């Protein structure tokens, strides 16, 4: 718990420093308006990833002092995360690093993970497919896409205060819990550090939105989640390969459905931003009773009220995954059920037929 506390304090202090620095020199600003994914009233620094990274580094130093576990693997993980973190940070500051380039940075980090940590996918617990992973190039390429895709998926859901941060917090906590059950102490302590760093950022992000995670933070957390998942499954055969997939089934489904929606339904590039992500529909359609009031306090309230819906959706996958972490068939069936639920909810909301039980206080107003 000392490591969690250290990463929390350092992340929180670094984040508030960046918030104050931003007032003097606006670097990495997320401006108001100018795109379909802007839902805040004032310019905000999108440098929260720096605070998270500072927390990880500081807690790593403390880990060296306390020596609760072998620290080499932890530092290898941090080193491997540098490309994806830097790629996201460059986008946060310059706005000139496109989605393809950021994905390449994520692939580079995944490659370093394979090199330093041997973090490579070796099974999916599907008898027909698993033999393919004995072919190293197949396993390597699949790992790059799996890790890069997860990093991108967390970035995709980073649309409102508290969504990506809390979703990542829940997923990392679940990984740490199962790591504890199987006695993988290195991953347990790593998860504690990451949880503390996320909490330090969330202190200023939710609900007030004083700082955003940014691409650096979102890609960093997505990468760490993917690496922890690969390591947990790779060296603990009792853990189903579908356990981490179910943990991130919401962001992964959101990403894949977004690609399908943009490319095949709307005829646009999957990399082009739009305003039809699931979290945006909740904001626009389900919290529509407040739409029309452009005062900052109302925009902030709508923004902060959106995240709990996605937390609940995430918990619907977290709980079954934690309970069924070694039962592959049950996890597979749940994955299918979740995807069906997601698509059903999406189409109901987009067609102004939102289920009544989702409205707060029974409020319902079409916009």
Question: Among 156, 237, 223, which Cα is nearest to 190's?
Answer: 223
Q: What is the CA 29 to chain-centroid distance, rounded? A: 21
DSSP 153-180: HHHHT--STTHHHHHHHHHHHHHHHHHH
CB 364 within 8 A of CB 349: no
Which residues in the chain come in under a pLDDT of 50? Answer: 37, 40, 362-367
pTM over 0.75: yes
Locate 198 and state its tokens: 């996320």
Burial, 81: exposed, middle or buried (Cβ in 10 Å; 0-12, 13-18, 19+)? Answer: buried
Residue 316 resides in a domain: yes
Residue 190 resides in a domain: yes
State the pLDDT at residue 358: 76
Residue 133 resides in a domain: yes
Q: Between 249-260 and 136-156, two packed helices, what is the crossing angle to 10 degrees?
A: 90
Residues whose CB is less than 8 angstroms from the CB of residue 13 and which lie 6 or more positions away in sequence, other chains included: 200
DSSP state of 287: S
State the pLDDT at residue 355: 84
Q: Between 99-117 and 136-156, two packed helices, what is the crossing angle to 10 degrees?
A: 130
DSSP 30-69: E-SSSSTT---SS-EE--HHHHHHHHHHHHHHHHHHH-SS
Residue 367 resides in a domain: no
CB 322 within 8 A of CB 178: yes
264-273 long-range Cβ contacts below 8 angstroms, 24+ apart: 271/98, 271/99, 271/100, 273/35, 273/36, 273/37
What total of structural domains would you count in the chain?
1
CB 178 within 8 A of CB 257: no
Locate 118 and state its tokens: 């041997």
CB 197 within 8 A of CB 62: no
Question: Among 295, 164, 140, which Cα is nearest to 222's?
Answer: 164
Helix-strand-coil split of the chain, %, nearest 5: 70, 0, 25
Question: Among 267, 262, 279, which Cα is nearest to 314's?
Answer: 279
Residue 279 resides in a domain: yes
CB 272 within 8 A of CB 262: yes
Task: Return d(Cα 168, Cα 257) in angstroms, integer.
Answer: 20
Locate 250 and state its tokens: 């919401």
Task: Return d(Cα 319, Cα 325) in angstroms, integer.
Answer: 10
Residue 343 resides in a domain: yes
Q: Between 136-156 and 163-181, two packed helices, what is the crossing angle to 10 degrees?
A: 140
Supply φ then ψ for residue 30, to 5 degrees: -105, 100
Residue 94 resides in a domain: yes
List pLDDT tens digits, range 91-132: 999 989 999 999 999 999 999 999 999 999 999 999 999 999
Task: Return d(Cα 195, Cα 177) in angstroms, integer.
Answer: 12
Residue 50 structural domain: 2-362
Q: Between 48-66 and 214-235, two packed helices, what is the crossing angle to 10 degrees?
A: 40
Residue 132 resides in a domain: yes
């Amino acid at each position: 718990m000392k490591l969690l506390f250290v990463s929390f304090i350092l992340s929180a202090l670094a984040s508030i420093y960046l918030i104050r620095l931003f007032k003097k020199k606006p670097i990495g600003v997320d401006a108001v308006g100018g795109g379909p994914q802007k839902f805040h009233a004032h310019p905000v620094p999108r440098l929260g990833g720096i605070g998270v990274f500072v927390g990880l580094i500081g807690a790593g130093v403390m880990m060296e002092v306390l020596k609760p576990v072998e620290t080499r693997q932890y530092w290898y993980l941090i080193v491997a995360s540098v490309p994806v973190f830097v790629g996201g940070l460059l986008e946060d500051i310059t706005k000139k690093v496109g989605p393809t380039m950021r994905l390449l940075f994520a692939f580079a980090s995944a490659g370093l993970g394979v090199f330093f940590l041997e973090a490579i996918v070796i099974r999916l617990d599907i008898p027909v497919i698993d033999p393919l992973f004995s072919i190293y190039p197949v396993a390597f390429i699949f790992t790059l896409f799996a890790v890069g895709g997860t990093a991108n998926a967390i970035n995709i859901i980073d649309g409102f205060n508290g969504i990506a941060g809390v979703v990542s917090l829940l997923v990392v906590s679940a990984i740490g819990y199962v790591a504890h059950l199987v006695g993988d102490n290195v991953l347990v302590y790593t998860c504690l550090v990451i949880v503390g760093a996320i909490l330090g950022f969330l202190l200023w992000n939710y609900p007030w939105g004083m700082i955003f995670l940014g691409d650096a933070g979102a890609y960093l957390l997505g990468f760490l989640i993917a690496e922890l998942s690969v390591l947990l499954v790779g060296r603990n055969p009792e853990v189903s390969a579908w356990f981490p997939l179910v943990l991130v089934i919401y962001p992964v489904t959101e990403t894949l459905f977004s690609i399908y929606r943009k490319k095949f339904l709307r005829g646009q590039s999957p990399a082009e931003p739009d305003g039809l992500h699931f979290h945006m529909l909740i904001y626009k359609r389900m919290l529509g009773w407040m739409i029309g009031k452009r005062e900052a306090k109302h925009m902030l309230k709508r923004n902060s009220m959106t995240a709990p819906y996605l937390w609940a959706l995430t918990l619907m996958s977290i709980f079954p995954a934690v309970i069924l972490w070694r039962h592959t068939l049950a996890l597979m069936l749940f994955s299918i059920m979740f995807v069906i639920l997601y698509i059903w909810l999406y189409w109901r909301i987009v067609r102004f037929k939102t289920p009544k039980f989702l409205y707060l206080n029974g409020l319902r107003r079409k916009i």
